[in-house]
Structure 1
């Protein structure tokens, strides 16, 4: 049985990402014939087929899917380890890679990043909003170093710290029939166009904590990727959206927006920052968490207020 090498994992990942030998070979800086030879040799050494051909594409077998999962988990860790060692050798701290699962929190994050960069001139910041495995998976796989999320997963190896509380409210435009109500009930949205970020319904609080328990669905559901466009749509009377109160209040001075409580008790939420537990003592990570908490003060709005 052959010993797995990093090149084997890189081949498996490249073939999966591109689906064709030509594109995979180009990424790996190999000729197509050299890659074909490496694939045959790997399968011969392992004694099991890794791919099956479907037309011009290669699909992983069961063994190949397992090896691909290993490659997706280990390769980012190896890359990060090499980069960290290079940074240590050159006296650098490197890049803080921040993942964000809270679309509207991007605006808040910008306010944290600016003073952080000023305080830590030897640390760069990279913000990522799309992950191959989701935010938690990206944190485990070392694709990111820190995750901003409203939905922490308390599991071994990760630490989540709350940075601010906020209230989820219904944002409505000028002259909307619901504007001015003390609060809305789920049935109020049965005839509305609900605008949300392009997120699965089971991760949208407006559905899981408000509409679905009451057996209600909006007349229309419209996903919008960008916060600025979403707010413009709401302000223009094209629909309503569930957003943090702090964001609606902040934008009310630029756009004619109103915030209406969701239910008599409102919907309380928290934003958390997650890091890998074994890296909790790294100074520039601790500094970012502390700065995020400082900038969270005054952002959140109490549900009881």
Structure 2
């Protein structure tokens, strides 16, 4: 008795307030919508809204139909989007941005394996969102973001990848290089080298400096990991980096690493996607390949299940 076209008409009428504006909304004519409404009213046996009222007022029957439209139409839209996802799952593009700027060490092998598994999916990096990529995901410019910044959201899914140890990196000659662990007080007279992001998003601030109400003497922002390490080796500052990202330099004797805090500091890494895309087959495959590649190739990383 009630058809989808009726639900769309009633929803448009409720949103716009007049039949003329509802017709514009639906790219139709007011006479066509008037005919639809009269047809449905005849089937129901009662008017759906009171004519010549401003603002428009629905009858009890009209309110029930409107409630049905608000429940059903979003589900139809979601189903149509999922069908489109299924149609395109074997081909297309996965647009990716990375907020973890040391991630290339494990991500490149993961991408190589992903390409072998899904040769029809073009994986493209977007460098416009280097330090704050979630807005790009929200706007539809990106499909997936590698990030440490998980937050509660009904729109995004954060797939846990792995946890890893953050360490303070110094030159071998630095006074802090001999300490068993680094306290917040130890950094008050230091130049801290960080990526150009807000301090509130950096783990060394969130879990070490801010709880102790401490701050480094100076902060220098550097946008490349290699440049940070070069400045550290030149004794121009210290930096908090993932332990797996600096193993090679430590083995060469170019740097020293010290745990952050008496218990150490572990960070977490996630792959963020939109909720409706989290079960897309090639995206699920990217999740699993990323997890296995990192756990098999990186030192001191652990599975992450939260």
TM-score, normalised via structure 2 length = 0.66
Per the alignment, in what secondary structure is the counterpart of residue 246 of structure 2?
helix
Alpha-carbon contact 2:99-2:146 (below 8 Å) kept: yes
How far apart, CA to CA, are the structure 2 residues paired with 1:300 and 1:166? 9
Residue 251 of structure 2: which of 253, 260, 267 is its match?
253
Alpha-carbon contact 1:164-1:300 (below 8 Å) kept: no
Are residue 288 (structure 1) and residue 266 (structure 2) matched? no
Gaps of 5+ in 1: 5-80
Match of residue 112 from structure 2: 114
Are residue 221 (structure 1) and residue 215 (structure 2) matched? no
How far apart, CA to CA, are the structure 2 residues paired with 1:145 and 1:254? 38
Alpha-carbon contact 2:170-2:238 (below 8 Å) kept: yes
Match of residue 150 from structure 1: 148
Per the alignment, in what secondary structure is the counterpart of residue 223 of structure 2?
coil
Alpha-carbon contact 1:101-1:129 (below 8 Å) kept: no
Match of residue 192 from structure 2: 194
Match of residue 179 from structure 2: 181
Alpha-carbon contact 2:90-2:118 (below 8 Å) kept: no
Match of residue 233 from structure 1: 231
TM-score, normalised via structure 1 length = 0.66
Per the alignment, in what secondary structure is the counterpart of residue 208 of structure 1?
helix
Match of residue 295 from structure 2: 297
Alignment of 1:1-305 (within 5 A): 93-131=91-129, 134-254=132-252, 256-298=254-296, 299=298, 301=300
Alpha-carbon contact 1:235-1:255 (below 8 Å) kept: no
Per the alignment, in what secondary structure is the counterpart of residue 105 of structure 2?
helix
Mean Cα displacement is larger for which, 167-176 or 251-260?
A: 251-260
Alpha-carbon contact 1:132-1:138 (below 8 Å) kept: no
Alpha-carbon contact 1:249-1:259 (below 8 Å) kept: no
Alpha-carbon contact 1:97-1:146 (below 8 Å) kept: yes
Alpha-carbon contact 1:183-1:263 (below 8 Å) kept: yes
Deviation at 1:254, TM superposition (A): 4.8
Deviation at 1:113, TM superposition (A): 1.0
Alpha-carbon contact 2:145-2:273 (below 8 Å) kept: yes
Pairwise CA RMSD: 2.9
Alpha-carbon contact 1:96-1:145 (below 8 Å) kept: yes
- Whose Rg is larger? 2
Change (3 A) 1:234 1:215: same
Deviations, residues 111-142 of structure 1 (Å, cap 9, x unaligned): 21122112221111112243399433322222
